[in-house]
Chains A and B, each alone.
Chain A
Amino acid sequence: MNLAGIQMISEHIVITRLKKIVQEQQTMTSFKLTPITGMLMALLWVFAGPAEATYFVQCPGDNDGSGDAIIDGATDPTNPRYPDGGGVYSYPDNTRCMHVTASDGYVKLNGREDPYYFFSYHDVTGKNEADAGIEGYVAAENPAPTIIQDEGDELYVTLSNVGMIQRPDLADPHTIHYHGYAEAATIMDGVPEMTVSINEGASLTYFYRAEEPGTFFWHCHVEATEHMQMGMIGNLWVRPAQNRLPNGTVLGSHTHSNPDNLGGTTPRNQDNPIDGDKYVFNDGDGTTLYDVEYPVQVTTWDPIFHDASRDTQPLPFIDMFDTLALINGRTYPDTLIETALTAPAETLGYGTDTAIQPMDTVIRATQGEKILLRLQNVSTSDQISVRTLGLTMKVVGAGGRILRGGGKLDGENLYYETSNVVLSGGDARSAIIDTTDVHPGTYFLYTTQLRLLSNDTEDYGGAMTEIIIDAP
């Protein structure tokens, strides 16, 4: 189906909805800027709106003309990066692609019936590039999609800015900043004051060669205070090459298990469950071995700021005071729901086929397993400590490096054990919980900033989730 066809159908849907809204509005005596009336205005703008957008995905090997960021060909005839002689270029097998859109959206958090307005990204990898707009409108995910790389991957991430529907006055560009990327180049670092950012209706492709395994994160850096407070932050981590060593490789007193031959005959970046040892870093001795992994991205929101953004009011930077705390995009007790949460009605049909809060935040393991927690604090205003009540965390990584002297693989051992990891804004830590001698049961992970254990005015919420250890 071409863009014009999609547009016609969408217009039909819009017009039907507009008629319904107008009927509802006729009972109101005064104009009030609510999400519904705002949406009315926005939709009128969208279809009266600017020149047709052109979204353009760059992905070596995506040769079928769809721009869906899926590598479908063995060769890329036009890409000079992979010279092969004879005019035929083949991309290396460490090439990966992704396509994300930047837009706005609504998310329902605990403590309030009205959803919160926010900005974020949406993963449209696999969708035709021509559909980026219709797929991305009001489809912001909380948190933003997760980016996972294997060490040595060359990842092409196309960012398409599809505009913010609730705020037709806001023509903000967007970027991607890969926080902690080693030896970055300005053009790929995503800081708008120092380089380029992408306007509405267009696409910018970033290139990241993953050299450092560990826990990182990514976020928009345009008007960083505003866009980060509004939610444009996602998880990101890199898996070490050590995972792909041949079966039986001796690592100190540990023997590497790789029965599925990951990295050998089995392709890398295998998302299917594989039988084999996984490490956080190339530790050389198996000390960062883990069995199950969970990102724990903690952030905070200010409800007044989000409502002001929705209502086209001046943004209260000076009065920013966050009273919502989220783990992986959810407040407690939504953190305990082990399925994806879908979009509230305010998205008016946009993005309802997607999970707006896709991440399961319950941490589960079987007794005896090692749990990797990829801890991050991405709050724009608070220091956050993460505590695991009744469980010991061993911190093995910080700042995207192994916790050894100088961040070097042969450095002095600096691992430490704690039940409370202190995270300033921007900090990322990799911590492993060994459940070998732990009684099965339900434990808790929560922030010790007790103020953040509430959902604004609703007590008993915030940044808390459960760690469930099942009997073997």
Chain B
Amino acid sequence: MNIQQNKFLKKIAILASMLSMGIASMAQAAIVGVEDTTFNLVAKDGYITSGDGDSLYMWGYSTTETHNNGLSTNGGMQYPGPTLIVNEGDSVTINLTNEISILGKVSIVFPGQKVTATGGATGLMTNESTGAADTVSYTFTATHPGTYIYHSGTNPELHTEMGLVGALIIRPSTDPETTAYGPDSGSDFEVENLYLVSQVDADIHNQVELGYSFAPADPSHVNMSQQKPAQWFINGRSLSDDLFPDFAPWLPTQPYSALVIMQPGDRTLIRFVGASRDTHPPHLHGNNGTIIARDGRVMQTASGAGADLSVSDNTISVVSLATHDVIWTWTGKDIGWDIYGDLVPNCVDLVDNHTGAATSGTPYSPGDGFDDEGHNAWEWCEDDGKPFPVVLPELQDMTFGGFYSGSPFMNDNGSLPPGEGGLNLWNAFIYPWHSHTEFELTNNDVFPGGMFTAVVIIPPTP
């Protein structure tokens, strides 16, 4: 095990104690964000912690409002900007004031919305705030539910690199907590997550911090042409910071986690947001997902058709400034062995697990084919009782990951050599969701790092 991996595991060890304190709170169904119809955002500068422990100078939108998890950033700069959550039909107002002293003007554009801007100074793309006394008001009606991005419309190449970017979520008027686009849109979910991808070139941030000018004609202006990122982020944090809970106290300017926690059979909605210049292809281990919407529009032949033009894939190409909505689920169906390690079949399948409707099936003959809730929920009954197909090697012949429970089975653990494993507190199945441009899995030349998070499939509630 090399030094780089040791550092990684030391960080992860802290995660173990953090998670043991707040497991219940982590299995939240909704994305952490600010829910309102009027938002007062202030553009501020500050610092974030990069994956290799460095401080990066950033610009970001800030809010004093309390997030929907009861916590607040108290008006401090955050990366990414606050996730704004509104409801379909809302008349939304976002007031922006610029308090970044070295930055003359800043603004926000809202792709996908029809925005009226008042106040501030007239800019190229939209109205801009030139200072603390100069507030711009952006108003729009949240006509279409979906996942959207917002970012600065002033010199957007530099401003998004510096961190002036965030996600906007418009919830549907019907079934807002359980669908992304309303009933019959193929967007039903039990768990919801933000997956906002971005990158940083520290050289550019250093130049900005050192006071390089922004005027292109100035020979000593910030040089964007050699952009070469060495840090990659999901929801504003690199691996392994992105596995820590939301509002981790030692990451005050990076409030959002990227860890996904769910149970077998849960449909998780992943809201992908491309908040950086490059295209990133997150690869989802464990199963394919269904890409049901792009840029806030369901891929369907007609409204109510249920995302019938959706595409199934395990690698989602997230282009710069695009958004995608993916529904992902996992049960271990047809894997060919019992994921609980049972040798005696014990499946109970009398109802359809999604609808709860009783079926006419007798135990162990198809209802929906899956074990019912209250037991080994969502176990695929055909695999029930089938033995594990291979013998694992001796302990000394294997290298163990920190997230290995010591057992190949769900809801089980096994003995490991001292110091090994220990991070799989739930006896869960854990998969990485990471960029498949593997070069992005580094923190400033150090592997592992970068654009890498995990989904934790915890055993069903008995």
Contact = CB atoms under 8 A, between A and B. Distances in A.
Interface of A: 56, 58, 80-81, 154, 156, 173, 177, 179-180, 182-187, 189, 191-199, 201-207, 209, 211, 223-226, 228-229, 316-318, 320, 379-383, 398-401, 403, 405-408, 411-412, 414, 422, 424-427
B397 A225 contact: no
B429 interface: yes
Contacts of B93: none
Contacts of A81: 337, 386-387, 389
Contacts of B436: 424-427
Contact of A401 (B313, B394, B398, B408): B313
Given A187-B408, A192-B399, 10 more contacts: A173-B398, A183-B287, A207-B336, A207-B337, A225-B442, A229-B439, A318-B230, A382-B437, A412-B309, A414-B311
A406 B305 CA distance: 12
Contact of A412 (B308, B392, B437): B308
B399 A191 contact: no
Interface in B160-202: 186
Contact of A381 (B331, B389, B439): B439
Contacts of B334: 182-183, 209, 211
Given A198-B397, A318-B445, A425-B438, A183 B312 contact: no
Nearest to A211: B334
Interface in B365-413: 386-387, 389-394, 396-404, 408
Interface string B267-287: 000000000000101010111
A207 B389 contact: yes
29 contacts: A58-B391, A154-B336, A180-B314, A182-B333, A183-B332, A185-B429, A189-B285, A193-B403, A194-B403, A194-B430, A194-B454, A197-B401, A199-B397, A199-B398, A202-B393, A205-B391, A206-B390, A209-B334, A209-B335, A224-B441, A225-B438, A398-B313, A405-B311, A406-B311, A407-B310, A407-B312, A408-B312, A411-B308, A426-B315
Contact of A400 (B314, B403, B429, B435): B314
Contact of A196 (B339, B401, B432): B401
A194 B387 CA distance: 22
Contacts, number: 208
Contacts of B110: none
A191 B313 contact: no
B448 interface: yes
Contact of B442 (A56, A317, A427): A317
B431 interface: yes
Nearest to A201: B397
Interface residues of B, number: 65
B231 to A, nearest CB: 10
B132 to A, nearest CB: 39
A408 B387 CA distance: 30
A223 B447 contact: yes
Contacts of A316: 445
A422 B454 CA distance: 27
B108 to A, nearest CB: 29
B285 to A, nearest CB: 6
B311 A399 contact: yes
Contacts of A191: 285, 401, 431-432
Contacts of A156: 389-390
A189 B403 CA distance: 13
Interface string B423-454: 00000011110011111011011111000001
Nearest to A302: B439
Contacts of A422: 317
A318 B312 contact: no
A380 B434 CA distance: 12
Nearest to B429: A186
B127 interface: no
Given A154-B389, A193-B448, A399 B312 contact: yes
B307 interface: yes
Nearest to B310: A406
B281 A225 contact: no
Given A156-B390, A225-B441, A383-B279, A194 B308 contact: no
Given A411-B308, A424-B281, A318 B444 contact: yes
The 7 A-B residue pairs with the shortest CB-CB distance in the complex, in nearest-first order: A407-B312, A426-B436, A399-B313, A202-B397, A209-B336, A424-B281, A187-B408
B408 A185 contact: yes
B462 to A, nearest CB: 20
Contacts of B441: 224-225
B393 A401 contact: no
B434 to A, nearest CB: 8
Given A193-B403, A193-B432, A198 B311 contact: no
A182 B442 CA distance: 27
A84 to B, nearest CB: 14
A196 to B, nearest CB: 4
B288 interface: yes
Contacts of B313: 398-399, 401, 407, 427
A204 B431 CA distance: 19
B330 interface: yes
A203 B390 CA distance: 12
B301 interface: yes
